[in-house]
A and B are shown apart, each in its own frame.
Chain A
Amino acid sequence: MARVLIADDDADIRDLVAFKLTQGGHQVTVAPDGMAALKAVREEPVDLALLDIRMPGMSGLDVCRELRAAPETATLPVILITARSQEGDVEVGFAAGADDYIIKPFSPRELSSRVTALLNRVER
Chain B
Amino acid sequence: MSRVGAEPWATLLDALHSLVAVCDHIVIIYFLSINTCYLVLILVALREFLRRQGRAPFAGYDDAVTSPFTPPVSVIMPAHNEAVGIVEAVRAMLLLHYPVFEVVIVDDGSTDGTLDALREAFDLAEVEHVMPDDVPVRGRITSVHLPRGGPVPLLVARKENGGKADALNVGINLARYPLVCMVDADSILDSQALLAVAKPFSDDPMRVVASGGVVGLANGCTVVGGRVVEPHVPRELLGRVQVVEYLRAFFLGRTGWSKLGGLLIIAGAFGLFRRDVVVAAGGMDPDCIGEDAELVIRLHRHLREEGRDYRIVFVTEPISWSEAPTQRSVLAHQRRRWHRGLTEIMLKHRRMIGNPRYGRIGLLALPFHVLFELLAPVVELAGVVLVPLGVLLGAVNADFLWRFLLAAYFYAVVVSLVSVAVEESAFHRFTRWRDVWGSLVGVVAENIGYRQMTAWWRLRGMWDGLRGSPQVWGSMTRAGFASSGEAEDSQVKAGGGDRA
A and B touch in the complex (CB under 8 A): yes
Interface of A toward B, CB cutoff 8 Å: 33-35, 38, 53-59, 61-63, 65-66, 83-86, 88-89, 91-92, 95-96, 104
List chain A residues, Cβ under 8 A from B100.
Answer: 86, 88
Given B94, B150, B191, which contacts A55 in the complex, CB threshold below 8 Å? B191
Which single residue of chain A is at the shortest CB-CB distance from B95? A61
Q: Are B95 and A59 in contact (CB under 8 A)?
A: yes
**C-alpha gap A73/B262 in the complex (Å):** 50
Q: Is B386 an interface residue (CB 8 A)?
A: no
Q: Are B229 and A35 in contact (CB under 8 A)?
A: yes
Q: Are A83 and B150 in contact (CB under 8 A)?
A: no
Q: Is B480 an interface residue (CB 8 A)?
A: no
Q: Is B192 an interface residue (CB 8 A)?
A: yes
Q: Are B66 and A84 in contact (CB under 8 A)?
A: yes
Query: A89 and B230 in contact (CB under 8 A), knowing A66-B224, A83-B65, A95-B152?
Result: no
B194-243, CB < 8 A from A: 222, 224-230
**C-alpha gap A95/B151 in the complex (Å):** 8
Number of A-B contacts (CB under 8 A): 76
List chain A residues, Cβ under 8 A from B229.
Answer: 33-35, 57-58
List chain B residues, Cβ under 8 A from A54.
Answer: 61-62, 65, 97, 191-192
Q: Are B230 and A56 in contact (CB under 8 A)?
A: no
Interface of B toward A, CB cutoff 8 Å: 61-62, 65-66, 68, 91-92, 94-95, 97, 99-100, 150-153, 190-192, 222, 224-230
**C-alpha gap A56/B94 in the complex (Å):** 16
Q: Give the Cβ gap from B189 to chain A, nearest Cβ, in Å.
A: 11
Q: Are A38 and B224 in contact (CB under 8 A)?
A: yes
List chain B residues, Cβ under 8 A from A88.
Answer: 100, 151, 153
**C-alpha gap A86/B228 in the complex (Å):** 27
List chain B residues, Cβ under 8 A from A59.
Answer: 95, 97, 191-192, 227
Q: Give the Cβ gap from A28 to chain B, nearest Cβ, in Å.
A: 22
Given B65, B91, B227, which contacts A34 in the complex, CB threshold below 8 Å? B227
Given B68, B150, B153, B225, which contacts A62 in the complex, CB threshold below 8 Å? B225
Given B65, B91, B226, which contacts A84 in the complex, CB threshold below 8 Å? B65
Residue of A62, A63, A65, A104 with most chain B CB atoms under a 10 A cut-off? A62
Q: Give the Cβ gap from A116 to chain B, nearest Cβ, in Å.
A: 27
Residue of A66, A86, A91, A104 with most chain B CB atoms under a 10 A cut-off? A86
List chain B residues, Cβ under 8 A from A33.
Answer: 229
Residue of A54, A55, A63, A91 with most chain B CB atoms under a 10 A cut-off? A54
**C-alpha gap A37/B57 in the complex (Å):** 26
**C-alpha gap A56/B62 in the complex (Å):** 13
**C-alpha gap A91/B153 in the complex (Å):** 11
**C-alpha gap A93/B66 in the complex (Å):** 15
**C-alpha gap A92/B61 in the complex (Å):** 19
Which single residue of chain B is at the shortest CB-CB distance from A93? B95
List 8 contacting pairs A-B, 8 Å CB cutoff, sorted by A. Answer: A33-B229, A34-B227, A56-B191, A58-B191, A59-B227, A63-B225, A86-B99, A92-B94
Q: Are B66 and A85 in contact (CB under 8 A)?
A: yes
Q: Are B99 and A92 in contact (CB under 8 A)?
A: no
Which single residue of chain A is at the shortest CB-CB distance from B226? A62
Q: Are B97 and A61 in contact (CB under 8 A)?
A: yes
Q: Are A57 and B151 in contact (CB under 8 A)?
A: no
Q: Are A35 and B95 in contact (CB under 8 A)?
A: no
List chain A residues, Cβ under 8 A from B94.
Answer: 92
**C-alpha gap A62/B94 in the complex (Å):** 10
List chain B residues, Cβ under 8 A from A84.
Answer: 65-66, 99
A84-B65, A88-B153 provided; 19 other pairs, C-beta below 8 A?
Answer: A34-B227, A35-B222, A35-B224, A35-B229, A54-B61, A54-B62, A55-B191, A57-B191, A57-B230, A58-B225, A58-B227, A61-B97, A61-B191, A62-B226, A83-B66, A84-B99, A86-B66, A89-B99, A96-B95
List chain B residues, Cβ under 8 A from A61.
Answer: 95, 97, 191
**C-alpha gap A35/B100 in the complex (Å):** 26
List chain B residues, Cβ under 8 A from A34.
Answer: 224-225, 227, 229
Q: Are A62 and B95 in contact (CB under 8 A)?
A: yes
Residue of A38, A57, A63, A89 with most chain B CB atoms under a 10 A cut-off? A57
Which single residue of chain B is at the shortest CB-CB distance from A90? B151
**C-alpha gap A84/B230 in the complex (Å):** 26
Query: A95 and B99 in contact (CB under 8 A), knowing A58-B227, A84-B66?
Result: no
Which single residue of chain A is at the shortest CB-CB distance from B65? A83
**C-alpha gap A104/B225 in the complex (Å):** 25
Q: Are B151 and A92 in contact (CB under 8 A)?
A: yes
Query: A35 and B150 in contact (CB under 8 A), knowing A56-B192, A57-B190, A84-B66?
Result: no
List chain A residues, Cβ under 8 A from B151.
Answer: 88, 91-92, 95
Q: Give the Cβ gap from A81 to chain B, nearest Cβ, in Å.
A: 12
List chain A residues, Cβ under 8 A from B62.
Answer: 54, 83, 104
